[in-house]
Amino acid sequence: MTASTTRRTTAASSRIAAVGAIAVAGALLLTGCGDQTKSKDGGSSSAATSKAPLFSKLPKAIQDKGVIKVGSDIAYAPVEFKDKDGKTAGIDPDLADALGKQLGVKFQFENGTFDTLVTGLRAKRYDMAMSAMTDTKDRQNGVDSKTKKKVGEGADFVDYFTAGVSIYTPKGKDQGIKTWEDLCGKKIVVQRGTVSEDLAKAQSEKCGDKGKIAIEAFDTDQQAQTRLRSGGADAGSSDFPVAAYAVKTSGGGNDFQIVGEQVEAAPYGIAVSKDNTQLRDALKEALDAIIKSGDYDKVIAKWGVEAGAVKEAKINGGV
């Protein structure tokens, strides 16, 4: 709290002096209490944010901080990416802003590679992960999708969108690729740790005499796109919204084309540690609130991905 300016007087009246002493004592008392609208780490306190409709639903630790830390791979346009001014933009950040108005806290996105986000969640670096992450039973249970072995604690998911996986090729050079079977004997680029990588590995095991799929995995989808643009592969694969955005924007729409139909349509989920059910349930309630208010549909329409909109939030709806 900013201390008020004390004006001195030359009056000798004892009554005035007594009043001044009381005022000074009061000022010192208030100064000692500090500013009760801010927590010591800069987050908003309960007094400042309790007017948000769902603030009371949050864990006390998050109420005190006024911030939810979000792990995200911020290189997956249009879901999350850095805009020309270096700010985090996209479907997920816009939805997070809408959720923040219901919960009365700020969602702070922190960049990380996709395949480390769940690990970061377990290590408490993040309160949640929101990064076009498909909700699957394996991820819920902490199981490696290929070996089916337990690799760590799983996560709970609050499902908020639905998307399938698409294949894209250099424009005008599809080499007859329409399906995953058509990739046998060819090379594909993907982002590491994604459903696209899982699908490529699974299909490669089925190729037989046609030859396995050569799979090159990268930390980010942008790196995979760069490799394909340079002629280093026959095809790439991403979630449908991401592939469609790359086809529309890369090289002014002249670099890539989507081939075939999207497959494996499944929900995106906000990942939360299994021991943080209070945050999980608060996020679900906030998501249902913005769906009901129409704020959800505004975000989805802004990014042109209405086909993936959901009508209600679900917990662990992925199969």
Q: Where residue 240 sits, what CATH number does that domain have?
A: 3.40.190.10
Q: What is the pLDDT of residue 16?
A: 37
Domain boundary among 239, 265, 291: 265
User: Quick one: pLDDT at residue 30?
Assistant: 39
The dihedral over CA atoms of 64, 67, 70, 75, expressed in degrees to the nearest 10, equals -170
172 and 158 both lie in a single domain:
no
**Which residues in the chain show pLDDT less than 50?**
1-49
CB 195 within 8 A of CB 239: yes
Q: Are residues 128 and 203 in the same domain?
A: no
Of 29, 23, 20, 24, the closest CA to residue 1 belongs to 29
My answer on whether 136 and 211 are in the same domain is: no
Say what the pTM is. Answer: 0.78
The number of folded domains in the chain is: 2
- How far is the C-alpha of 284 from the C-alpha of 282, rounded, in Å? 5
168 plus 256 within the same structural domain = yes
Both 227 and 297 in one domain: the answer is no
| Domain span holding position 222 | 164-265
Cα–Cα distances (Å) from 312 to 267, 286, 293, in that order, read 12, 11, 12
Cis, bond preceding 78 (omega within 30 deg of 0): yes
DSSP string for 208-245: GGG-PPEEEEESSHHHHHHHHHTTS-SEEEEEHHHHHH
pLDDT attached to residue 114: 93
Contact 187, 254 (CB under 8 A): no
At 146 the pLDDT is 74
Tokens 């340079």 belong to: 230
